[in-house]
Structure 1
Amino acid sequence: MTAEHLRNRSEPGPTRAYARQVSSTAAHPHGSRVAARDHCLSMARAVDRPTGAARYGRMFPGLAPLGTDPQLLMRAGVDGGVCDATAALDRLGPGRDDAGEAAGWPFFGQLIAHDITADRSPIMGGVDPEALRNARAPKLNLEMLYSDGPVGSPYLYDLHDAAKFLLGPDGGDVQRNAQGVALIGDPRNDSHLFALTLHIALLRAHNRIVDLLRAAGVPEPDVFDKARITLTWHYQWIVVHDFLPRLVGADLVEQVLAEGGRWFAPPTGQAYIPLEFADAAFRYGHGQIRHTYRLVAGGPAVPLFPDLVGFGPVPADRRLDLAQVFDLPGRPPAQRAKRLDGRLAASLIGLPEQVTGAVDDAAYRSLAVRDLLRGDTTALPSGEAVARLLGVDPLTADELEQSWPQGTPLWFYILKEAEHRGDGDRLGPVGGRIVAEVLIGLQRADAVSYLSLEPDWQPSLPAAGPSFGMADLLTLSFDGVATA
Structure 2
Amino acid sequence: MPEKRNHGTSLILEDLLTGGQRRGGTGDEMENDQLAFVDYGYLFPSLAFDPSATLVADDNLSTSAIIAALKRLGYAMVERASLGMDSDLPAAYTYFGQFIDHDITLEAQSKHLQPIDVPDFAPLPETTIRQQLKNLRTSPFDLDSVYGRVGMPPHDIPVPRHGEKLALGKNSRVGSPIPGKTNDNDLMRVPAEEPWPHFRAKQALIGDERNDENLITSQMHVAFLKLHNAFVDTQGLNFADARVATIQHYQAVVLFDFLRKICDETVVTQTLVRNRLFLSSCADRLYMPLEFSAAAYRFGHSMVRDRYILNRQHDVKLADLLSFTELSGNIGPADSPTTAYETLPRDRIIEWQNFLPISVQKPVLARPIDTLLAHPLTDLREEADIVFTDVMKHLAQRNLLRGYLLRLPTGQSIARALIRAG
Change (3 A) 1:187 1:8: closer
Residue 257 of structure 2 corresponds to residue 242 of structure 1: yes
Question: Please, which of 185, 195, 220 is the counterpart of residue 217 of structure 2?
Answer: 195
Aligned twin of 1:465: none
Q: TM-score, structure 2 length as denominator?
A: 0.72
Shift of 1:133: 0.8
Whether the aligned pair in 2 keeps the contact of 1:150 and 1:156 (CA below 8 Å) is: no
Question: Please, which of 336, 339, 354 is the counterpart of residue 365 of structure 2?
Answer: 336
Change (3 A) 1:365 1:266: farther
Question: Please, which of 291, 316, 322 is the counterpart of residue 352 of structure 2?
Answer: 322
Aligned twin of 1:434: none
Residue 37 of structure 2 corresponds to residue 57 of structure 1: no
SS of equivalent residue, structure 1 residue 107? helix
SS of equivalent residue, structure 1 residue 54? coil
Whether the aligned pair in 1 keeps the contact of 2:158 and 2:207 (CA below 8 Å) is: no
Aligned twin of 1:83: 77
Question: Please, which of 210, 224, 233 is the counterpart of residue 239 of structure 2?
Answer: 224
Letter in 2 for 1:326: L
Equivalent residues in 2 for 1:363-374, closer than 5 Å: 363-374=391-402
Letter in 2 for 1:247: I
Equivalent residues in 2 for 1:84-123, closer than 5 Å: 84-87=78-81, 89=82, 92=83, 96-121=84-109, 122=111
Q: Matched residues in 1 for 2:80 and 2:157: separation?
A: 46
SS of equivalent residue, structure 1 residue 62? helix
Shift of 1:75: 1.8
Question: What RMSD over aligned residues (CA atoms) do the two structures have, in Å?
Answer: 3.2
Q: Matched residues in 2 for 1:72 and 1:266: separation?
A: 43
Whether the aligned pair in 1 keeps the contact of 2:310 and 2:354 (CA below 8 Å) is: yes
Equivalent residues in 2 for 1:432-451, closer than 5 Å: none
Q: Matched residues in 2 for 1:150 and 1:319: separation?
A: 33
Structure 2 unmatched ranges of 5 or more: 7-22, 57-65, 117-122, 171-182, 193-201, 332-342
Whether the aligned pair in 1 keeps the contact of 2:305 and 2:366 (CA below 8 Å) is: yes
Q: How many residues align?
A: 341
Shift of 1:384: 2.0
Shift of 1:156: 2.8
Shift of 1:299: 3.5
Aligned twin of 1:129: 129
Letter in 1 for 2:213: S
Residue 283 of structure 2 corresponds to residue 269 of structure 1: yes
Residue 388 of structure 2 corresponds to residue 385 of structure 1: no
Shift of 1:211: 1.4
Moved over 3 A (4+): 6-14, 47-50, 148-155, 259-262, 264-268, 304-309
Aligned twin of 1:71: 68
Whether the aligned pair in 2 keeps the contact of 1:191 and 1:355 (CA below 8 Å) is: no
Q: Matched residues in 1 for 2:414 and 2:280: separation?
A: 20
Shift of 1:44: 5.9
Shift of 1:129: 2.4
Question: Please, which of 167, 172, 176 is the counterpart of residue 189 of structure 2?
Answer: 176
Q: Matched residues in 1 for 2:406 and 2:157: separation?
A: 37
Question: Please, which of 341, 362, 379 is the counterpart of residue 390 of structure 2?
Answer: 362
Shift of 1:158: 3.3
Letter in 1 for 2:167: L
SS of equivalent residue, structure 2 residue 89? strand
Aligned twin of 2:229: 207
Change (3 A) 1:293 1:373: same
Shift of 1:149: 7.0
Q: Matched residues in 1 for 2:104 and 2:350: separation?
A: 25
Structure 1 unmatched ranges of 5 or more: 19-42, 394-429, 431-484
Residue 307 of structure 2 corresponds to residue 292 of structure 1: yes
Change (3 A) 1:283 1:75: same
Q: How many percent of aligned residue pairs carry the same amino acid? A: 29
Shift of 1:390: 2.2
Q: Matched residues in 1 for 2:240 and 2:267: separation?
A: 33
Whether the aligned pair in 1 keeps the contact of 2:378 and 2:396 (CA below 8 Å) is: yes
Shift of 1:76: 2.0
Aligned twin of 2:269: 254
Letter in 1 for 2:188: Q
Aligned twin of 1:157: 160
Q: Matched residues in 1 for 2:250 and 2:130: separation?
A: 31
Whether the aligned pair in 1 keeps the contact of 2:38 and 2:139 (CA below 8 Å) is: yes
Q: TM-score, structure 1 length as denominator?
A: 0.64
SS of equivalent residue, structure 1 residue 295? strand
Letter in 1 for 2:283: G
Whether the aligned pair in 1 keeps the contact of 2:214 and 2:322 (CA below 8 Å) is: no
Letter in 1 for 2:27: T
Change (3 A) 1:266 1:342: farther
Change (3 A) 1:72 1:267: farther
1:410-466 CA distance string (max 9 Å, x none): xxxxxxxxxxxxxxxxxxxx9xxxxxxxxxxxxxxxxxxxxxxxxxxxxxxxxxxxx
Q: Which structure carries more helix by proportion?
A: 1
Change (3 A) 1:154 1:54: closer
Aligned twin of 1:350: 379
Shift of 1:305: 5.4
Whether the aligned pair in 1 keeps the contact of 2:380 and 2:395 (CA below 8 Å) is: yes
Letter in 2 for 1:15: G
Change (3 A) 1:385 1:316: same
Aligned twin of 1:146: 147
Change (3 A) 1:234 1:129: same
Shift of 1:226: 1.4
Whether the aligned pair in 1 keeps the contact of 2:309 and 2:315 (CA below 8 Å) is: yes
